[in-house]
Amino acid sequence: MRKNFFINMGLKSKLILTMSSIFILFSLVLFLISQNAQKRLIKEMEENIDDLTKAIQVSVEKLTSEEQKNPEVLKELIMKFKKKGINEISILSESREIIASTNPKKIGLIAKSTKDSDFLIKAELGVKSKEEYIKTINVPIIIGDENYGYINIVMHLENLTDIQKRNFYLRLFTTMLIFIFGTTIIIYLADKYTKPIHMIVDATKRVSKGDLTPIGIDISLGPEIKDLVVNFNQMIEKLKERQILENKIKKMEHIYQIGQLSSAIAHEIKNPLNFINLAIDQIKDELKQIDTEAKAIELLKAVGSEIDRINNLVHHFLEYGKPLKLNMEYINLLQLFKDIEKIIKTKTDDLNIKIDFNIDKNINFLGDKEKLAGCFLNLFLNSIDSIKSDGFIIITGMKKNDKIIIHFRDSGHGIPEMIAEKIFEPYFSSKDTGMGLGLAFTRKILIEHGGDIWLNKEYKNGAEFIISIPTNI
Ligand X SMILES: Nc1ncnc2c1ncn2[C@@H]1O[C@H](COP(=O)(O)OP(=O)(O)OP(=O)(O)O)[C@@H](O)[C@H]1O
**Least distance between ligand X and beta carbon 413 (Å):** 6
Other Cβ atoms less than 10 A from the Cβ of 402: the count is 10
Among 36, 335, 378, 468, binds ligand X (CB under 6 A): 378
Give the SS3 label for residue 193: helix
| 270 touches, from Mg ion, ligand X, none (C-beta below 5 to 8 Å by class) | none
| 386 touches, from ligand X, Mg ion, none (C-beta below 5 to 8 Å by class) | ligand X
Q: Which is nearer to ligand X, 96 or 409 (CB)?
A: 409
- Residues whose CB is less than 8 angstroms from the CB of residue 28 and which lie 6 or more positions away in sequence, other chains included: none
Euclidean distance between CA atoms 335 and 338, whole angstroms = 5
Q: Could you tell me which stretch among 185-193, 234-242, 264-272, 374-382 binds Mg ion (CB under 5 A)? A: 374-382
Give the SS3 label for residue 363: coil
Position 382 contacts Mg ion (CB under 5 A)? yes
Residues in contact with ligand X, shown as a per-residue x/- string from 406 to 445 under the rule CB under 6 A: ----x-xxxx---x---x----xxxx--xxxxxxx-----
| 393 touches, from ligand X, Mg ion, none (C-beta below 5 to 8 Å by class) | none
Euclidean distance between CA atoms 422 and 256, whole angstroms = 15
**How are the residues of the chain apportioned to helix, strand and coil, as percentages rounded to the nearest 5?**
60, 20, 20
Amino acid letter, residue 264: A
| 233 touches, from Mg ion, ligand X, none (C-beta below 5 to 8 Å by class) | none
Q: Could you tell me which stretch among 127-135, 393-401, 433-441, 450-458 binds Mg ion (CB under 5 A)? A: 433-441
Interface size with ligand X, residues (CB under 6 A): 23
| 463 touches, from Mg ion, ligand X, none (C-beta below 5 to 8 Å by class) | ligand X
**Least distance between ligand X and beta carbon 463 (Å):** 4
Q: Would you list the DSSP string of 33-94?
A: HHHHHHHHHHHHHHHHHHHHHHHHHHHHHHHHSGGGG-HHHHHHHHHHHHHHTEEEEEEE-T
| 77 touches, from Mg ion, ligand X, none (C-beta below 5 to 8 Å by class) | none
CA distances from 149 to 51, 88, 138, 143, 237 (A): 20, 18, 10, 10, 102
Which long-range contacts does 436-439 make (Cβ < 8 Å, 24+ apart)?
A: 437/316, 437/320, 438/378, 438/381, 438/382, 439/378, 439/382
Q: Which is nearer to ligand X, 193 or 428 (CB)?
A: 428
**Least distance between ligand X and beta carbon 433 (Å):** 7
Euclidean distance between CA atoms 438 and 374, whole angstroms = 9
Interface size with Mg ion, residues (CB under 5 A): 3
Position 438 contacts Mg ion (CB under 5 A)? yes
Position 382 contacts ligand X (CB under 6 A)? yes
Are 176 and 29 in contact by the 8 Å Cβ rule? The answer is no
Are 404 and 468 in contact by the 8 Å Cβ rule? The answer is yes
| 423 touches, from Mg ion, ligand X, none (C-beta below 5 to 8 Å by class) | ligand X
**Least distance between ligand X and beta carbon 412 (Å):** 5
CA distances from 226 to 188, 201, 215, 244, 456 (A): 18, 15, 11, 27, 49
Residues in contact with ligand X, shown as a per-residue x/- string from 61 to 100 under the rule CB under 6 A: ----------------------------------------
Q: Could you tell me which stretch among 211-219, 266-274, 339-347, 438-446 binds Mg ion (CB under 5 A)? A: 438-446
Which residue's CB comes closest to ligand X? Answer: 438
CA distances from 5 to 1, 96, 182, 194 (A): 6, 80, 21, 21
Q: Up-side HSE of residue 113: CA atoms within 13 Å toward CB?
A: 24
Amino acid letter, residue 117: S
Q: Which is nearer to ligand X, 51 or 425 (CB)?
A: 425
Q: Which is nearer to Mg ion, 102 or 382 (CB)?
A: 382
Position 383 contacts ligand X (CB under 6 A)? yes
Which residue's CB comes closest to Mg ion? Answer: 438
Q: Could you tell me which stretch among 33-41, 103-111, 254-262, 382-390 binds ligand X (CB under 6 A)? A: 382-390
Position 463 contacts ligand X (CB under 6 A)? yes
Position 276 contacts ligand X (CB under 6 A)? no
Euclidean distance between CA atoms 283 and 311, whole angstroms = 22
| 391 touches, from Mg ion, ligand X, none (C-beta below 5 to 8 Å by class) | none
Point out which residues bind ligand X (CB under 6 A): 378, 382-383, 386, 410, 412-415, 419, 423, 428-431, 434-440, 463
| Residues near Mg ion (CB under 5 A) | 378, 382, 438
